[in-house]
Amino acid sequence: MSWNGLKLPVIFLSFIFGLAIAFGGQWVYQEYTLQQPLNKVLAENKLVEEFTVDQDKPVAMVKITLTKDVKNLMEAYAELQTLTGQVMGKKPFQLELVSKPDTALEEVFYASHHVIYQAQVNGSFPEVAARVQQAAQQQGAEGKVYVDQNNIYIQLTKADGHYLYKVIPRQDSIHATAQGGGQIAQRN
């Protein structure tokens, strides 16, 4: 079959071949320049228990389950943010921590969340630390609060192995967006 002297099967096969090369090239790029190096970096990190990476969206989602042995959540998060950013380069990503809470730890966070979100606005971080520690002690847990220029870090742990890690963007960084890679700020 031909159309104006062109053979349609040849055109169709050329089109399919071109699509296959384009999509295959994209897959090879994703696999060897992002996925495998990121898997290596995260798998070798002693703080990481497990992780998943979803790159199917404009902003890659990196979900990380940390071990219960994290001493300082702020330092652990900064380390993971830096390592992930080095691999991802200019591709924007969001780092999300997955916790293993029980109802007691969820109650601690619920009892403290008003003060935490109020501190986002007015900067009353010593009050947050006191409230989180007090609520944690009432539930037989340990509560720590860390603050840096971008986030408020809530680290709640119990001796039975349950933990709750929250990274809450500070008010001035809530609307931040990635400029050439990095975290997209989001409340979790």
Report which secondary-structure segment, H or E, holds 121.
Answer: helix 103-122
| Domain end (from 98, 131, 158) | 98
17 belongs to a structural domain = yes
CB 128 within 8 A of CB 115: yes
Predicted pLDDT of residue 29? 59
12 belongs to a structural domain = yes
Segment 65-81, tens digit of pLDDT? 998 889 999 999 999 99
Predicted pLDDT of residue 41? 81
Task: Please name which of 161, 168, 183 lies closest in space to residue 83, comparing C-alpha atoms.
Answer: 183
164 and 130 belong to one structural domain: yes
Predicted pLDDT of residue 30? 55
For the residues of 42-100, what is the DSSP string, one character each? HHT-TTEEEEEEE-SSSSEEEEEEE-TT-S-HHHHHHHHHHHHHHHHTTSEEEEEEE-B
64 and 130 belong to one structural domain: no
Whole-prediction pTM:
0.73
| Domain end (from 98, 116, 138) | 98
**What average pLDDT score do residues 103-128 get?**
91
26 belongs to a structural domain = yes
21 belongs to a structural domain = yes
When pLDDT is cut at 50, 70 and 90, the band that residue 35 belongs to is low
Residue 120: exposure state from Cβ atoms within 10 A (0-12, 13-18, ≥19): buried
86 and 6 belong to one structural domain: yes
9 and 93 belong to one structural domain: yes
80 and 123 belong to one structural domain: no
CB 93 within 8 A of CB 182: yes
CB 156 within 8 A of CB 148: no
61 and 18 belong to one structural domain: yes
86 and 112 belong to one structural domain: no
**What average pLDDT score do residues 96-115 get?**
93
Q: Which two tokens stand for residue 121?
A: 């606005």
153 and 93 belong to one structural domain: no
* Overall domain count for the chain: 2
56 belongs to a structural domain = yes
Instruction: Specify the higher pLDDT residue, 81 or 186.
Output: 81
Could you tell me what percent of the chain has a pLDDT over 70?
79
54 and 110 belong to one structural domain: no
Query: Identity (one letter) of the amino acid at 182?
Result: G
114 and 92 belong to one structural domain: no
Angle at CA of residue 177, ends 173 and 182, nearest 5°: 100
31 belongs to a structural domain = yes
188 belongs to a structural domain = no
Structural domain of 32: 2-98
